[in-house]
């Protein structure tokens, strides 16, 4: 086995559910019980974890705090990559307000927009800066990741610019796939809310047996 995207998403789930256990003061968990909690097989959990190392102990299970820290390291959460948000409209602002960046491995260091009526306004502790200054900002602060909340038809162009300014990761909320970038050492997570909603539409219009609903 190798680290495929589904495995990574499961690791995130494990990470979060461990937090719940730790909050509840639970010190150890067996793969069998964890599997019940997560609604998957114990085999899969052990398989997933074992790819990265030996985090458990026979006859005991997994130590919640240790495993949580180990998974955090694997997921690179403690690295807090410096990040900029491009596009401070409704969605961009909502993300700033709604997402706990630090807890997910990033630190938001700048918010940019090109609309004059938005530049200078505040979202949380961030003042929206003019896109005109993006180049100088990147040269100085070297953000490694960018959140794209720009209009669809600007996506590619903005991404290209940012790649040239050293950005290596994109959290893409536009409805375009960012693909031209893949050839380089650039990583992209396309969110595609439209596809997500349309998937729900299909599920509702063609009610499926519960076994298939795990998305």
Partner DNA sequence: TAGATTGTTAATCGATTAACAATC
Q: Is 190 in the site for a second copy (CB under 8 A)?
A: yes
User: In the chain, what are the helix, strand and coil shares in percent, each to the nearest 5?
Assistant: 50, 20, 35
* Piece in contact with a second copy (CB under 8 A), picked from 21-29, 57-65, 68-76, 135-143: 68-76
Q: Out of 39, 54, 202, 206, which residue is the one contacting DNA (CB under 7 A)?
A: 54
Q: Out of 42, 99, 114, 165, which residue is the one contacting a second copy (CB under 8 A)?
A: 99
Cβ distance to DNA smaller for residue 51 or 139: 51
Q: How far is the CB of 136 from a second copy (least distance, A)?
A: 23
Cα 68 off chain centre by: 17
Q: How far is the CB of 35 from DNA (least distance, A)?
A: 9
Size of residue set near a second copy by CB under 8 A: 71
The region, left, alpha or beta by phi > 0 then psi within -120 to 50, assigned to residue 36 is alpha
Q: Are strands 187-190 and 169-172 parallel, antiparallel or unpaired?
A: parallel
Edge-first strand listing for the sheet containing 145-148: 122-123, 126-130, 106-113, 81-86, 145-148, 169-172, 187-190
Q: Out of 111, 144, 153, 162, which residue is the one contacting a second copy (CB under 8 A)?
A: 144
Residue 114 binds which one of DNA, a second copy, none, with CB within 5 to 8 A depending on kind?
none
* DSSP code of residue 84: E
Show contacts with DNA in window 171-210 (CB under 7 A): none
């Amino acid at each position: 086995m190798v680290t495929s995207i589904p495995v990574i998403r499961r690791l995130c789930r494990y990470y979060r559910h461990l937090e719940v256990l730790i909050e509840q003061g639970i010190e150890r968990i067996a793969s069998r019980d964890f599997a019940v909690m997560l609604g998957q097989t114990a085999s899969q959990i052990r398989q997933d974890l074992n790819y990265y190392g030996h985090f458990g102990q026979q006859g005991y299970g997994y130590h919640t705090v240790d495993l949580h820290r180990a998974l955090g390291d694997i997921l690179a959460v403690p690295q807090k990559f410096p990040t900029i948000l491009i596009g401070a409209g409704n969605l961009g602002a909502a993300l700033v307000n709604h997402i706990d960046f630090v807890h997910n491995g990033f630190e938001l260091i700048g918010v940019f927009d090109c609309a004059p009526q938005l530049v200078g306004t505040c979202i949380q502790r961030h003042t929206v800066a003019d896109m005109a200054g993006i180049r100088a900002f990147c040269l100085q602060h070297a953000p490694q990741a960018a959140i794209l909340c720009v209009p669809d038809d600007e996506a590619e162009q903005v991404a290209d610019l940012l790649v040239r300014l050293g950005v290596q990761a994109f959290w893409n909320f536009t409805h375009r796939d960012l693909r031209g970038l893949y050839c380089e050492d650039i990583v992209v997570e396309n969110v595609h809310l439209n596809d997500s909603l349309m998937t729900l539409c299909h599920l509702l219009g063609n009610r499926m047996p519960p076994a298939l609903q795990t998305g």
